[in-house]
Amino acid sequence: MNELDPTLGVYGIATAAELTGLNPQTLRLYETRGILVPARTEGGTRRYSSNDIRRLKRVAGLLGDGLNLAGAGAVLDLQDRNDELQAQNDTLRKEVVATGHAPS
């Protein structure tokens, strides 16, 4: 089965709003505040990816837990950076196992 690239912007703002339970104005606000930056068509129409939808749902959860929008954005950025570092760590560990020594 050919999976869709989760970074590909395929959902319009109305569909993204429906999928997340948020209204389009809230999505625009989140973009203005830098919480996410959806892709744009040549004509300027927003296109949200599966990753964007997941991020919006995570924001909603953090806001529901009592964080403000700036705090939610900071938490998400830290979680994303942690995921990146974990992936790098996993790659390095595999390299050490495969070669028997750390990369130079």
Q: What is the pLDDT of residues 18-50, one digit of tens each?
A: 999 999 999 999 999 999 999 999 999 999 999
Angle between helices 50-64 and 13-20 (to 10 degrees): 40
CA–CA dist 79, 11 (Å, integer): 24
Q: What is the pLDDT of residue 1?
A: 45
From 8, 91, 92, select the one nearest 48 (Cα to Cα). Answer: 8
Is 81's pLDDT higher than 90? yes
- Which among 48, 42, 34, 36 has a CA at the least distance from the CA of 4? 48
Residue 47 buriedness (CB in 10 A; 0-12 / 13-18 / 19+): middle
pTM for the whole thing? Answer: 0.80
> Above pLDDT 70, what percent of the chain?
96
Confidence of residue 101 (pLDDT cuts 50, 70, 90): confident
